[in-house]
Amino acid sequence: MSVNEPTEAAGSPVRAKSSSDLRPRLIAGAVMAVVALALAYAGPKPFAVLVLAVALIMCWEWGKVVRGEEYGTALVIHVLAVAAAGVLTAMGHAVLGVAAVIVGTIVLLVMPLGQRRLMSAAGVLYVGLPTIAMLWLRGDEPLGLLAVLFMFVIVWGSDIGAFAAGRGIGGPKLWPRVSPNKTWSGFVGGLAAAFAGGALFSLLVPGGSSVTLGLTGLVLAIVAQAGDLAESALKRGFGVKDSSQIIPGHGGVMDRADSIVAVSVAVAIMALIVKAGSPARALLGV
């Protein structure tokens, strides 16, 4: 979720964030960033624990948004498929992880879930594929850590740039029917910040190109914004403001992970095309 502007439910009035709203948001964001960085640095296995924990919460939130239920058989299948995919990928079997996601998707497609069956099945893909992508990327030693950090820099940099430009400049709305508070200035600010962050990150990458990583950051920032808007559209379509209230000032995990979900899947697709044997090198251009 971009921090360009606050998100409101469909039909509700736009309200600016007060300083009292912003403080818990900033504190929670800082804590989440520190935890993510620490576990990414600690190694592929600790990072896998973090990614799996986040993924399982997202399974629960998806059921709340799409089916309006917190527990049930569909959630069990969703959790089992994603957990199996994550564990298999962490063990070095990403292909089997993808197979687990496909099986979970098919099982939910044939379950009697009424009109929510298709979207319930889509949730296995939405959570399972980025889980596999993140663990596949981090497990590609010795550059896996740098690759994950690069994604964090791009997504967080894009968010911060969008926030600064959206608040400081304002102007025309980006897509008011889906996310009424996001602006074009915020969108451009996010892209500029991602380009700058990618270019500067090249200083940490042996043999890295500032132009290549800057342009990669720019493209991934567009993907991140698209992921943000897609999650906003999902919630708006089901009449939900936040996926949950588990994170103070932010809403749910899905509300915070929407950009990284889209970016990680895009990176995995790019790696499969460019250098499937080493996704980290494919992302970093070395």
CA atoms within 13 A on the CB side of 175: 12
Does position 17 have pLDDT exceeding 60, yes or no?
no
pLDDT of 245 reads: 84
Mean pLDDT of the chain: 89
pLDDT digits (tens, 9 = 90+) for 189-232: 999 999 999 999 999 999 999 999 999 999 999 999 999 999 98
CA distance 84 to 54: 14
Q: Which residue has the higher pLDDT, 180 or 273?
A: 273
Q: Which of 184, 183, 194 shows the shortest CA–CA distance to 161?
A: 194
CA distance 71 to 275: 40
Q: Which residue has the higher pLDDT, 246 or 193?
A: 193
pLDDT digits (tens, 9 = 90+) for 142-182: 999 999 999 999 999 999 999 888 888 878 888 778 777 78
Instruction: Report helix angle 253-274 to 117-138, nearest 10.
Output: 60
Instruction: Report helix angle 144-168 to 210-237, nearest 10.
Output: 70
Does position 7 have pLDDT exceeding 50, yes or no?
no
pLDDT digits (tens, 9 = 90+) for 106-143: 999 999 888 889 999 999 999 999 999 999 999 999 99
Query: How much is the average pLDDT of 26-39?
Result: 90
Amino acid at position 235, single letter: K
CA distance 247 to 252: 6
Query: How much is the average pLDDT of 88-94?
Result: 96
The model carries a pTM of 0.88
pLDDT of 113 reads: 85
Q: Would you place residue 21 in the very low, low, confident or very high pLDDT band (cuts 50, 70, 90)?
A: low
pLDDT of 66 reads: 92
Using the structure block, give the residue that is written with the tokens 């950051």.
Answer: 217
Q: Which residue has the higher pLDDT, 9 or 74?
A: 74
In angstroms, what is the C-alpha Rg of the chain? 18
Asked if the peptide bond before residue 279 counts as cis, ω within 30 degrees of 0, the response is: no
CA distance 94 to 81: 13
Amino acid at position 16, single letter: A
pLDDT of 247 reads: 80
Token readout for 151 is: 């994604």
Token readout for 32 is: 């989440």
pLDDT of 12 reads: 41
Query: How much is the average pLDDT of 77-98?
Result: 97
Q: Which of 75-79, 88-92, 93-97, 165-169 has the lowest mean pLDDT?
A: 165-169
Query: How much is the average pLDDT of 249-278?
Result: 91
CA distance 70 to 222: 32
Q: Judge contact between 184 and 172, C-beta under 8 A.
A: yes
